[in-house]
Amino acid sequence: MKKLSDLKPFDEVHGRYVVKFKKPVQRYAKGYRFELRIGDTSCERMLKFWGPENERAVRELYESIPKGGVIEVRGQANVFQDRLEITVNELDGIKVLSPEEYEAKEFVKISERDREEMKKELLELIEEVKDAEYRRVLDSFFSDEKFLDLFTFAPAALYKHHNWIGGLVEHTLNVANICKKVLSHYPTLDKDLVLTGALLHDIGKVREFEIGTSITVSREGMLLGHVVLGLQMLAEKLNSVEISKEKKLKLMHMLESHHGQEEYGSPKVPAFPEALLLHFVDYLDSSVSLMERVRRTAETEDDFFYTKDFGNVYLR
202/261 same-domain check: yes
Residue 260 is predicted with a pLDDT of: 81
Q: Confidence class of residue 307 from pLDDT cuts 50, 70 and 90?
A: confident
Query: Percent of the chain scored above 90 by pLDDT?
Result: 78
55/112 same-domain check: no
279/139 same-domain check: yes
Q: Confidence class of residue 294 from pLDDT cuts 50, 70 and 90?
A: confident
Conformation bin of residue 31: beta by default, left when phi > 0, alpha when psi is -120 to 50: left
The mean-pLDDT minimum among 19-33, 131-145, 262-276 falls in 262-276
Mean pLDDT of the chain: 93
* CA dihedral angle for residue 94, residue 98, residue 17, residue 62, rounded to 10 degrees: 40
Max mean pLDDT among 38-47, 77-86, 104-113, 136-145 falls in 136-145
Q: Where are the alpha helices (DSSP H) in the chain?
A: 55-64, 115-127, 132-142, 145-153, 167-183, 191-200, 205-208, 219-223, 225-238, 245-257, 273-297
66/130 same-domain check: no
Residue 270 is predicted with a pLDDT of: 94
Tell whether the model's pLDDT for residue 303 goes beyond 80.
Answer: yes
Q: Among 75, 103, 131, give the residue marking a domain's end.
A: 103
In a domain, 310, yes or no: no
Handedness of CA 124, 125, 129, 132 (dihedral sign): negative
Mean pLDDT throughout 75-93?
93
Rounded Cα–Cα distance for residues 305 and 257 (Å): 31
Rounded Cα–Cα distance for residues 255 and 204 (Å): 10
161/237 same-domain check: yes
88/224 same-domain check: no
* Number of folded domains that form the chain: 2
226/252 same-domain check: yes
17/81 same-domain check: yes
Task: Report pTM.
Answer: 0.85
The mean-pLDDT minimum among 207-211, 227-231, 291-295 falls in 291-295
Q: Encode pLDDT of 96-145 as tens digits.
A: 999 999 987 788 889 999 999 999 999 999 999 999 999 999 999 999 99
- 73: containing domain: 4-103
What separation in angstroms does the CA of 218 have from each of 40, 90, 209, 226?
A: 21, 36, 5, 10
Mean pLDDT throughout 9-38?
95
Q: 171, 43, 161, 47: which is closest to 109 by C-alpha? A: 43
**Would you list the DSSP string of 141-153?**
HHT-HHHHHHHHH
133/249 same-domain check: yes
47/182 same-domain check: no
Q: 254: domain CATH number?
A: 1.10.3210
Tell whether the model's pLDDT for residue 266 goes beyond 80.
Answer: no
Local structure of 97: helix, strand or coil: coil
Residue 265 is predicted with a pLDDT of: 67
Rounded Cα–Cα distance for residues 144 and 73 (Å): 43
Mean pLDDT throughout 132-161?
95
Tell whether the model's pLDDT for residue 26 goes beyond 70.
Answer: yes
Tell whether the model's pLDDT for residue 179 goes beyond 80.
Answer: yes
The mean-pLDDT minimum among 42-46, 86-90, 104-108 falls in 104-108
- A 10 A CB-CB count for 145 gives 8
Q: Confidence class of residue 297 from pLDDT cuts 50, 70 and 90?
A: confident
In a domain, 306, yes or no: no
Q: Confidence class of residue 263 from pLDDT cuts 50, 70 and 90?
A: low
Tell whether the model's pLDDT for residue 262 goes beyond 80.
Answer: no
200/291 same-domain check: yes
CB distance 7 to 13 below 8 Å: yes
